[in-house]
Structure 1
Amino acid sequence: MERLTLPSGGAAAVDDYLEYRRIVGDDDGGKLFTPEEYEEYKKKVLPMRLQNRLFVSWRSPTGMDCKLVGPETLCFCTHRYKQHKTDFETILQQRPISLPCRVTGCPCRTYLYVPLNGTQPIRCRCKHFADQHSPAAGFICSVCSKCSGFHSCFTCACGQPAYAHDTVVETKQERLAQGKPVGQDVPYAAMGGLTGFSSLAEGYMRLDDSGTGAPSIEFLDSPVTTMDHPFLKSFQASSSSSPETLRDGNEMKLTDIQVSSIKRPEEDDMAFFERRYQERIKMEKVAKQKGKAPLPSSTKPS
């Protein structure tokens, strides 16, 4: 395997190039700007991005952003979001805002997110994939003649069908008015709806206001039931034990009890229950020596 060695200051040069690529994107046409051109480009483009950034998301009818679009997110036309028009000197008043594809010859008039089923595009009701349909208005299938336009019954993780979702393009002010996060103003190209690392997760897994939201206090304070994960049940059972329990003449902390109640990877069922039984016998002996009543029986983990 070939090993690359950077000269002194090489790492800083790589960082500068990555910063350049995040800011310029494909606007240089594949030929690097000169330092003068780069500075002129930043003076022209960065104020637009900081003031007129557009946030793009794939929104469920429940209002949850199931997908936050980033620079590399594919459009229905199979081109990425960064290959569409994303910088505007002034925001148009008409809604929805159109983000046409900039690839030569592409008929795509605006960015349209289409989800993936694993690693492949979802299918239309005509049984053909999304990329087998025309990205022009109407989205007619290019393989069969029976398709009247792309329509997929693929179900999103939020429980709603794909056709019930909308690709939403909105301004910072519109997003703030809905109570959704906007992150910090950044100079990078085609950031879309990304505001942080959590933006890479699907909506039902995000605990901010763009996703499913933070769990309520009532949910966090609710008692553990038999339907909960065994990990929670084992901690619930051990937390009812007295933290003053002694083991081998030393005070046994509550955290020690909790860890002890969890089955170890190398233990089989019989070894686990035998270890727990022996620990309980020791604790009862110590409790009797201290003049305490025997400990109540604890719930066995399922």
Structure 2
Amino acid sequence: MTEQFRFDGSASASVDAYLEYRRIVGDDDGGRLMSPEEYERYKRDVLPIRTKNRLYVSWTSPTGMDCKLIGPETMCFCQHRYKQHKTDFKELPSSRPILVNCRVKGCSCFSYTYAPMNGTQSVRCHCKHYASDHGAMAPHRCTLSACLCKGFQTSFTCGCGYKSSEHQTVVETREERKERGHPVGQEGVPYAAMGGLTGFSSLMDGYLRLDDSGIGAPSKEWLEEPRRSRSSTKQQLKS
């Protein structure tokens, strides 16, 4: 028999408050829950910076499509998550590309780089070893002993039709992203390390998203046309 848990109103509110705390603070508390006073001071100091200087991170195809939008839990080549990198900046860097270094002690990663995945599994290099077996920084040499691999290379092809090697990790400001014509979501989001996430559709691969960062929303005419004619319309769009 499956055991069921029931919470009264106060317990449910406490769970919601903790989840909100975790989304805002992330790993900045060092594993020790902040006191109410520390939490309020943290929000007062960090949230204005975070909402003003948010960075948008995506894994982008040669056409400019955001094939993967990076979120807090998305893994880097260094095998640490995006939320474990420096994502809050008092002042936005003036140099490009913007470097988002890993904050984990002893990690040599000086800028977040998306490690391509095939579903939930890391893809393999031509040396037969996984991306997770390669170094944090380009050219991502294999770290396994006796392997002669001098840099990560894979035949894995993204759903957009381009090889993963033809993609790049893009870190950009709100203004730069708007100039590319891609969605930026709501202003004032307080959560840590949101990267390129702007909504539920952000969790889908670029070619599946019906928004400006993917293949584009379908036209009103396409949505309203008779169902029987859509297959021929799709064929015309492909050609």
What is the Cα deviation at residue 147 of structure 1?
1.2
For residues 201-221 of structure 1, give each alpha carbon's deviation from its aligned partner in whole angstroms, at most 9, with x where no partner exists: 110111111000023466555
Deviation at 1:138, TM superposition (A): 3.0
Judging changes above 3 Å, is the alpha-carbon distance between structure 1 residues 36 and 128 closer, same or farther for their aligned structure 2 residues? same
1:189 to 192, 200, 206: 192
Name the aligned partner's letter for residue 166 of structure 1. Answer: Q
Alignment partner of 1:140 is 2:141: yes
Provide Cα deviations, 1:103-162, integer angstroms capped at 9, x if missing partner: 111111111112212332111122211011111343111124421211222100000000
SS of the equivalent of 1:98 reads coil
Conserved in 1, the CA contact under 8 Å of 2:138 and 2:151?
no
State the alpha-carbon separation in 2 of the partners of residues 9 and 226 from structure 1: 51
- The one of 164, 175, 178 equivalent to 1:176 is 178
Q: Partners of 2:206 and 2:119 in 1: how far apart? A: 16
Distance 1:204 1:43 in 2: 39
- Could you tell me which residue of structure 2 aligns to residue 213 of structure 1? 216
Matches of 1:96 and 1:152 in 2, distance apart? 24
| Structure 2 residue aligned with 1:247 | none
* SS of the residue 2:171 aligns to: strand
Structure 1 gap ranges (5+)? 229-302
Q: Residue 110 of structure 2 corresponds to which residue in structure 1?
A: 109
Task: Identify unmatched segments of 5+ residues in structure 2.
Answer: 233-239
- Specify the alignment match of 1:257 in structure 2: none
- Taking the TM superposition and a 5 Å limit, the aligned residue runs for 1:256-271 are none
CA distance, structure 2, for counterparts of residue 42 and residue 118 of structure 1: 35
- Per the alignment, residue 89 of structure 1 pairs with 90
Aligned to 1:265: none
Give the corresponding residue for 1:71. Answer: 72
Distance 2:39 2:215 in 1: 41
Q: Matched residue pairs, number?
A: 229
Cα distance, 1:6 vs structure 2:
3.2
Shift in Å at residue 11 of structure 1? 0.9
Q: Distance in 2 between matches of 1:93 and 1:202?
A: 30
Alignment-mate amino acid for residue 176 of structure 1: K
Name the amino acid aligned to 2:24: I
SS of the equivalent of 1:9 reads helix
Structure having greater relative contact order (Cα 8 Å, sep ≥ 6)? 2
Q: Quick one: distance in 2 between partners of 1:201 and 1:69?
A: 11
What CA RMSD, in Å, does the superposition of the two structures yield over aligned residues? 2.1
Give me the whole-angstrom Cα distance separating, in 2, the residues matched to 1:177 and 1:23: 28
Note if 1:159 corresponds to 2:161: yes
